[in-house]
Amino acid sequence: MSKIVAEPSQTTPFAPFEWMLSARYLRARRREGLISVIAGFSFLGIMLGVATLIIVMAVMNGFRKELLGKILGLNGHILVQPVERPLTDWQDVTERITRVQGIRLVVPVVDGTALASSSEASGVLVRGIRAADLSRLPSVGNTIKGSIENFDEGQGIVIGRRLADQLAARVGDSITLIAQRGASTPMGVMPRIKKYQVSAVFEIGMSEYDAGLVFMPIAEAQAYFNRGTNVTGIEVFTTDPDHIDQFRKAVLEAAERPVFLVDWRQRNTTFFGLLQVQRNVMFVILTMIVLVAALNIVSGLIMLVKDKGSDIAILRTMGASQGSIMRIFLITGASIGVVGTLVGFTVGLVVCRHIEAIRQALSWLTGRQLFPPELYFLSELPAEVDVVETATVVIMALTLAFLATLYPSWRAARLDPVKAFR
């Protein structure tokens, strides 16, 4: 009578013994030191890759948001420029555009260049503007230190803080403005030189404006630059700059005269296009760090499978299925990727939260100014964490770590117990 031999029962997926063996394989023994070193470098690579990606993307987003906010807080979303004839009817045009639905602020301006001098000299952009409009500019109105109550009636000017520091000028002091084109004389056109009292100082936080912009009463600017009664253009601020196209037709019709419209995207297309290119390139380069770390997981697992060949053979003879063997090494490799990603995610968020304090500390330790505002336009280092981008980075890292474990785990599952015992 033949004996009936019971088939070994199949283990449930991700059984406790699979987790136990995976945890033991992650703990290095003396003769497995090289495998542990590779696993450690894989963990560090994924952690640093994820953290660096999150930090760089947040800083790039912060740069774009801050620059966009400061630029659009000073310059209009749409610039109305005259065509065929000068903009002498700017008051009527301004009033009609103001009545357009969705228009928040309409600012006629007179722009010109000059040389500002006191104890030092610096080239500046002089902008003629009305006092009411100056106080309502989003980036300037809340930062003015001084008085602009009699700005329209007097000859006082408002300058940026960096320009004031460079010229060693304070509120109440006088500076000299020198324009290239002044009065016509028998000797030719002479430069126009005139002294103005500093009525107030503003600070936008963007070095390009704080060091190179001077506000002047619009009537005085017209006289100083020989513009008669016309203005250079009209800056139009809308309630929704991201959908600027919906306002162009209404503004064009409200002008009721030949004008040329330039929106903020056209005026800054090169600048923001360059930021986007840099952002994409940095994302690709830093993704390589995560990819290299994932390849280290592959090499480490292959060495671990080769070293544990006898263990695999014993497990197979004890009834472990190929799926169990594959899951053991899958958990081992994926644990490195998951823990590295989570730690990198945490480190990235912490650094982003304290990025400015870290920058100041590093500047103090090295004795050098990191991210100088003269080059990067901003006085502080911003960081804006985007939820979708951060989730994309985390999912990408987890996916790469999981894919890196598939081949070594499959190879372990396909190992022949007889050959392993030999």
Model pLDDT, residue 8: 46
Q: How far apart are CA 323 and CA 408, in angstroms?
A: 13
Higher pLDDT: 83 or 313? It is 83
Task: Provide the residue count of the chain.
Answer: 422
In terms of pTM, does the model score above 0.75?
no
Pull the structure tokens for residue 126. Answer: 């002089």
| Number of CB atoms found within 10 A of residue 378's CB | 19
pLDDT digits (tens, 9 = 90+) for 291-348: 887 887 787 777 777 776 677 777 777 767 777 777 877 888 788 888 888 999 999 9
Please give the average per-residue pLDDT across 394-401, as a whole number.
87
Model pLDDT, residue 10: 55
pLDDT digits (tens, 9 = 90+) for 35-68: 667 777 778 888 888 898 898 888 888 887 777 7
**In what helix (H) or strand (E) does residue 239 lie, and over which residues does it extend?**
none
Model pLDDT, residue 75: 85
> What confidence tier does 7 reach under pLDDT thresholds 50, 70, 90?
very low
> What confidence tier does 107 reach under pLDDT thresholds 50, 70, 90?
very high
Residues pairing with 201 in the sheet: 145, 159
At residue 186, does pLDDT exceed 60?
Answer: no
How high is the mean pLDDT of the chain? 81
Residue 364 buriedness (CB in 10 A; 0-12 / 13-18 / 19+): exposed
Ranges 87-101, 199-213, 268-282, 369-383, most confident:
87-101
Please give the average per-residue pLDDT across 183-203, as a whole number.
76
> What confidence tier does 420 reach under pLDDT thresholds 50, 70, 90?
low
At residue 3, does pLDDT exceed 80?
Answer: no
Please give the average per-residue pLDDT across 175-204, as a whole number.
78
Model pLDDT, residue 1: 41
Could you give the C-alpha distances from 1 to 4, 246, 421, in angstroms and in order? Answer: 9, 91, 33
**In what helix (H) or strand (E) does residue 350 lie, and over which residues does it extend?**
helix 322-353
At residue 236, does pLDDT exceed 90?
Answer: yes
Q: Out of 187-196, 237-246, 277-286, which region has the weakest mean confidence (pLDDT)? A: 187-196
At residue 356, does pLDDT exceed 90?
Answer: no
pLDDT digits (tens, 9 = 90+) for 23-36: 776 665 555 555 66
CA proximity to 162, closest of 412, 321, 372, 359: 372
At residue 253, does pLDDT exceed 60?
Answer: yes
Spatial contact of 81 and 93, defined as CB atoms under 8 Å apart: no
At residue 2, does pLDDT exceed 50?
Answer: no
Please give the average per-residue pLDDT across 75-94, as a whole number.
90
Model pLDDT, residue 214: 93
Q: What is the three-class DSSP state of 293?
A: helix
> What confidence tier does 417 reach under pLDDT thresholds 50, 70, 90?
low
Model pLDDT, residue 6: 42
pLDDT digits (tens, 9 = 90+) for 120-173: 888 899 999 998 898 888 788 788 888 888 888 777 899 998 899 888 888 888
Strands 103-117 and 121-129: antiparallel
Q: Out of 255-264, 360-369, 413-422, which region has the weakest mean confidence (pLDDT)? A: 413-422
At residue 80, does pLDDT exceed 90?
Answer: yes
